[in-house]
Structures are given as C-alpha cells and as structure tokens.
Structure 1
Amino acid sequence: MILSDFDIKKLLEKGDLIIESDYNVEEQIGPASIDFRLGNTIKYYDRTQLSIVDLKKNIPVEAIRTFFVQDGESFIIHPGQFILGVTKEKISIPDYLVARCEGRSSLGRLGLMIHSTAGFIDPGFQGTITLEIKNISEIPIKLYPGMKVGQFAFEVLKTKAEIPYGQRKSSKYMNQDQVQTSIFSIETDF
C-alpha cells in the first residue's frame, strides 16, 4: 500500500520518517510522495580512461570525473550520456517502510531518466540517494542544482524487516552523504 500525503505527514511528525532538507519539506509533499531535488555534485566515468568495466575490480580513481556545480550554475548532460548525481535531501527510512525513487513525468517527456535501475530504497537506509541519470533524447539538457528531479513514494511492509539495511554486513551505501560510485567489486559471491 502506497502512503498518501496524510500518512507521510504523520510519519514525519512522529519522527519515524526523516527527510533532512534545506527547503521546506511540507512544500515538497505531493498527494502520495515527497519531491527531491538534485544536489551539487556530479560524477561520471571517463571513457578515455576506462576501456572496460571489470566487475571484479574497482574502477580506477583517475577514470572517475567529479564536478561540483555551484547553485545557479548548470551541468549539461549530452545525448546518450550517463552520469551520477545525488539528492540534496538526506532520508532515513524506518524498518517497516520501503521507498521508491521515481522520476518526474515532465523530465521524462524531455528524455531525462533519473534512475536507471536502482529505484528501490531498503528499510533502515539512511543517507542521500545516488541518482543514475541518463539523457535518452537527441538534445543536450541543462541540469541545475536544487531543481526538482524526482519523488520518493513509500510503502508499508507487511512486517518489519528482520535485518534492516544498516544492520546487514553487505550494506555498502549506508550513511552516504555524496555521490557514491559503484562498489560492486567488494561482493565476493562470484
């Protein structure tokens, strides 16, 4: 069951759901979601420095480009380009909820995807959300820090998670506060 604005407000007031924002969170609440905004840091993998991604190895630091975009400035994402962004908002999910990171239809209609595959936020997660952003249009798009790029929708679990995200040994991204590139290579099951 997806939570309505009424339910979201109750969880925020109770302190079970925490959204840290430099913007008025009340104004970010929609009928069944909370808007989130693009942060200031962008990262991307430099294909001139990386000829292949080997999932058993870390991506070399010199192959990762990082840009800090000042408020009021922009970052141009080119057709077909894939970048990593981050939410301005930090989120803390209780052990009985999951959240979904969804794009905005207004941006989707321009060819901007804000999450490629990882739109699911586990119970017990705390931190900012790394966004997998891709321009699938044929025209460059300017992105601005602080612009609304998506929304969090929340669902109640039938029972609380036995082992919430932050208590799992494999919780690689807990408490992230900036763009986090993939650390898939630390998985040892293959």
Structure 2
Amino acid sequence: MRLSSTDIRRFLEEGSLKIVGRSELGFNVNEQIRPSSVDIRISDDFWKFKNYETLEYLDILDIEKARYFKDNPKLIYEQIHLLNGEYLEIKPGELIITETFEWIELPNFLSANLKGRSSFARLVPQGGSQKSKVKSQKYYGMGFLGILNGCSIYAVAY
C-alpha cells in the first residue's frame, strides 16, 4: 500500500519518518512531497566504472575477488564530485552510481522504494530499494541509484 501525502506529512510531523537534506538546502516539505511520493534529489557525488568498455564481467561468486574489490573499490570505480556548473558525461551503455542528497530514517513498520526519474533525457534510472528488512529494525541512511545511459548518444548529469 502506498502512503498518501497526508500520511507522509503526518509521519514526518510525528517524527516516526525522518527526511533530512545534507546542506543548507535541507528538505522542503512543501516542494518535495507529491500525492503519494517524496521527491528525493541525487547528490553531487558519482562513481563510474573504470574501463567499463573492457570489463567483460565481474564474477561476484568469486568470494576472494569480491572481497578484494570491496576492500579496494578505487581499483574498479572512479569517484567524481561535481562542483556548481560542472557536469558528468555518460557514454552510451555506461552505468554510473550516485547517492541521494537526503538522509532517510524509516520506522520498522514502513518500507520504501527508490525509483529514479529523468527530467531531461531518457536515461534508465536503476533504483536501489531501501526497506526495513526485519520488522524490528529501522533503516537510516542514504539511498543509492544507478543511472544507465540507454541512449545511443552521450548524456550528461549535472
């Protein structure tokens, strides 16, 4: 069941649901709450696969290799921080990863899905789902979103 904007506002006012922006922009209840959703923004930090054209596959079943890459993410990812006015080119077929600008705290009785949408290009946002996995647990943190350029031309994120 989806929450209505009235329910979302009530949970925010009660404090059982918390959404906090990570800078002076903050979280604007009047602008970011929609009829049955909340607009969450992406941050200025992105991660790109290094040499994605030559990477045939990443064998996640190879536990040793998975641990090695987990402990050394800079071997396969390049972290990019965009400043005002800068943009990131996304090649056709390329996947970039970003995080949400807002921190979200969900109580143990709610779950949420993070779905991306593109205002300007027909990118294919691949949303990471954030949910309370066990009824007695809360979730607190950022969401992560993969953005795949499904176009045959370059796209930009800014």
TM-score tier after normalising by the smaller chain length? 0.7 to 0.9
Is contact 1:44–1:66 with CA below 8 Å preserved after alignment?
Answer: yes
The counterpart of 2:101, out of the listed 75, 88, 93, is: 88
Residue equivalent to 1:32? 36
**What displacement does 1:103 show?**
2.4
Which residues of structure 2 form unaligned runs of 5+?
A: 133-137
SS in 2 for 1:13: helix
Distance 1:143 1:122 in 2: 27
Q: TM-score, normalised by structure 2?
A: 0.79
- 2:17 is equivalent to residue 8 of structure 1: no
Q: How does 1:22-171 map to 2 (within 5 A)?
A: 22-47=26-51, 52-55=57-60, 56=63, 57-58=65-66, 59=69, 60=72, 61-104=74-117, 106=119, 110-115=121-126, 118=128, 120-123=129-132, 124-144=138-158
Higher relative contact order (Cα pairs below 8 Å, separated by 6+ residues): 1
**Percent identical:** 32
Instruction: Kindly tell me the number of residue pairs found equivalent between the two proteins.
Output: 140
SS in 1 for 2:115: strand
Distance 2:56 2:118 in 1: 34
**Which amino acid in structure 1 is aligned with residue 44 of structure 2?**
N
Is contact 1:50–1:63 with CA below 8 Å preserved after alignment?
Answer: no
**What displacement does 1:54 show?**
2.5
- 1:66-125 CA distance string (max 9 Å, x none): 101113321121211101111101111110001011222645xx3212225x3x211222
Which residues of structure 1 form unaligned runs of 5+?
A: 145-190
SS in 1 for 2:11: helix
Q: TM-score, normalised by structure 1?
A: 0.67
Distance 1:63 1:103 in 2: 24
